[in-house]
Chains A and B, each alone.
Chain A
Amino acid sequence: MTSSQTIISRPPRIRLFRGPLALKDAVFVVVLWASGVLAIGAMAGVLIVLAIGSAPALTEAGLGAFVADGDWYPTAGEYGLVAMVAATLAVSAGALAVAGPLGILCAVYIRYYAGDVAGAAFRVVLMTLAAIPSVVYGLWGMTVLVPHIAAWQPPGTSLLAGVIVLSIMVLPTVAVLAEAGLRQLPASLYLGSLALGCARHAAIKRIVLSSAKGAVAAACMLGLARALGETMAVLMVVGNAVAMPDSPFASVRTLPANIALEMAYAIDVHRSALFVSGLFLMAMVGLLLVLRRCWGGADAPQS
């Protein structure tokens, strides 16, 4: 952190008296500054809108009504969000449990086992997977996956369907980011351990992956963040009945799905209660970022 600050602050001081360059530099600094302010402003704006929108429900029902172990019948004055928080966590964690290891394996394959051509082709495939709109995954889940699960364990729309669809969506995120992390390691680490007589798999397991722990953790965290916020694809396959996720075949509802499902038709306190759902979701993602600070380390690559 300290080193990057000195890099940013040095150039203007040096170039201040060099004519046109100084002007360009000044413009550049202003643009940078403005985009920084814009990003922070957008973030603050979202928080303010959420807070204002939540205020009526929080004053009428109180925060307790949302965290208490109640049901969600907003038009009848019951606002329990616990089941939906649990379902959101279960779907996302399940997706990460599947996509995390697979994604890391994909990254290792691209970096150390695939040749140049195969590796590049595989990366293109992953990038394409990442670029497919989530509603397409949802449509696939709804028309192909859910009927298959329904034939085996009705009703089909379930936690399991959500985990499978989300895993496929999160996999490319984790794989591409983890691969980027592996690429930033000095080549000497891997080559050096091979030269010392390590087997390939041992070099990767013991040396490479443990050195890239921060980057891999960051990749998983970003994948998890994507899973937490995913709305449409999940909405289309999990069934959306508000219940604790007590079985992989049970119908559950996640927080983002709750907002998308009811917002268009909600008025007054019901609408405000949906803003509280948004606030809860923000809190969960915020908590995740804090955890990532603690585990991943500050110098883990971001992209």
Chain B
Amino acid sequence: MSARKTVIAAFSLALTFAGLGVSHTQEEVRIVVTGSSTIAPLMMDIAQRYEAAHPGVQVDVQTGGSSRGLSDVRRKLADIGMVSRALGADENDVAATRIAWDGVALIVHAQNPLERLSDDQVRAIYTGQATRWEAFGSWDGPITVVSKAEGRSTLGIFLDYLDLDIRDIRAHTIIGDNEQAVKVVAGNPRAVGYISIGAAEYHASAMTPIRAIALGAVAPTSANVANGSYPVRRELNLVTYPDPAAPVEAFLRFASGQQVHDLISDHYFSPASD
């Protein structure tokens, strides 16, 4: 009994000191960042570096998708929204800062010998007109079509590029994020999916049995995304209201500057160079 009391006493003492410690750093600035799950891991690294260089500033990064990021900024629930697509014409009430580019590529199993697919062939696969690999030559068996759940921006970019409607898609497996897509394709030699080029390069280097196939004619590498020759690419944006508060603006400058380019490359994205 007394041992337990000692522990409780020690614990509350520690808590008290922790509380004191927090209240002593005067005027903690808190910046809330929400939105795209594609940008979030990168943003967490950027936030960590920024916090280390700016004591007294705390950056909270939360995920929930690009649309959530945008609506959180509009409802003033967040200071900065992460949006992994270009802003539409009806979205000019907010200001976007582009920090990087990301491309979308098809992935197939490493055993699949196919080198490339034309846009029409991809369209045929995803609308259910082509159901067997024999139609494209050197690979056989029925095609397993992997697509993304509604609301994901990768799906939006894929549909935009192929000029398809969500209702045209005939998928066998619908997944949430890049990781799941990789697992499904790695486990099924006859599957085809589409994911962020960053994620595809990461997994190819980690010996996962998947291979990236280009959408269009240019090789799907982050270098080609960076120089703009790869056609299916999306902007990774940070969104705020125009004229943000000084600490938010300082953080935006940091996140779009040279000093985070190594972090962007670590995440297999391409720094925005303009």
Q: 1/0 contact trace for B120-161 toward A, CB 8 Å?
A: 000000000000000000000110110001111000000000
Q: 1/0 contact trace for B144-184 toward A, CB 8 Å?
A: 11000111100000000000011100011111100010011
Say how far A155's CB is from chain B's closest CB, in angstroms: 4
Contact A251 B172 (CB under 8 A): yes
The stretch among B98-106, B185-193, B210-218 that forms the contact with chain A is B185-193
In the docked arrangement, what's the CA distance between A76 and B191, Å? 27
Q: A73-B150, A147-B187, A154-B144 given as contacts; is B173 within 8 A of A267 (CB)? A: no
| Closest residue of A by beta carbon distance from B176 | A261
A142: Cβ under 8 A from any B Cβ: yes
Say how far A283's CB is from chain B's closest CB, in angstroms: 23
Dominant SS among interface residues on chain B: mixed
Cross-chain contact of A267 among B67, B145, B191 (Cβ < 8 A) = B67
Say how far B150's CB is from chain A's closest CB, in angstroms: 5
Question: Considering the complex, which residues of chain A in the window 168-226 have a beta carbon less than 8 Å from any beta carbon of chain B?
Answer: none
Say how far A176's CB is from chain B's closest CB, in angstroms: 32
Contact A240 B149 (CB under 8 A): yes
Contact A155 B191 (CB under 8 A): yes
A241: Cβ under 8 A from any B Cβ: yes
| Closest residue of A by beta carbon distance from B149 | A261
In the docked arrangement, what's the CA distance between A262 and B141, Å? 31
B97: Cβ under 8 A from any A Cβ: no
A46: Cβ under 8 A from any B Cβ: no
In the docked arrangement, what's the CA distance between A73 and B147, Å? 14
Q: Which residues of B contact A241 (CB under 8 A)?
A: 171-174
Counting chain B CB atoms within 10 Å of each CB, the highest count among A74, A264, A266 belongs to A264
Question: Considering the complex, which residues of chain B in the window 219-245 have a beta carbon less than 8 Å from any beta carbon of chain A?
Answer: none
In the docked arrangement, what's the CA distance between A76 and B67, Å? 15
| Closest residue of A by beta carbon distance from B70 | A267
In the docked arrangement, what's the CA distance between A156 and B173, Å? 9
Count A-side interface residues using an 8 Å CB cutoff: 29
Cross-chain contact of B187 among A73, A146, A242, A261 (Cβ < 8 A) = A146
In the docked arrangement, what's the CA distance between A240 and B176, Å? 10
Contact B68 A267 (CB under 8 A): yes
B270: Cβ under 8 A from any A Cβ: no
Say how far B107's CB is from chain A's closest CB, in angstroms: 15
Q: Which residues of B contact A265 (CB under 8 A)?
A: 64-65, 67-68, 149-152
In the docked arrangement, what's the CA distance between A146 and B191, Å? 12
Contact A154 B142 (CB under 8 A): yes
Q: Which residues of B contact A147 (CB under 8 A)?
A: 187-188
A75: Cβ under 8 A from any B Cβ: yes
Contact B149 A71 (CB under 8 A): no
In the docked arrangement, what's the CA distance between A236 and B150, Å? 17
Interface of A toward B, CB cutoff 8 Å: 71, 73-76, 142-143, 146-147, 150, 154-157, 236, 239-242, 251, 253, 261-262, 264-268, 270
Given A73-B150, A73-B166: 20 more A-B contacts, CB < 8 Å: A73-B167, A142-B187, A143-B187, A146-B184, A150-B190, A154-B172, A155-B144, A155-B190, A157-B184, A236-B180, A239-B173, A240-B175, A251-B174, A261-B174, A262-B150, A265-B64, A265-B67, A265-B152, A266-B150, A270-B151
What are 28 A-B pairs with beta-carbon distances under 8 A? A73-B166, A143-B183, A150-B144, A154-B141, A154-B172, A154-B188, A155-B173, A156-B144, A156-B188, A157-B172, A157-B173, A157-B184, A239-B172, A240-B173, A241-B171, A241-B173, A241-B174, A251-B171, A251-B174, A253-B174, A261-B149, A262-B151, A265-B67, A265-B152, A266-B65, A267-B65, A267-B68, A267-B151
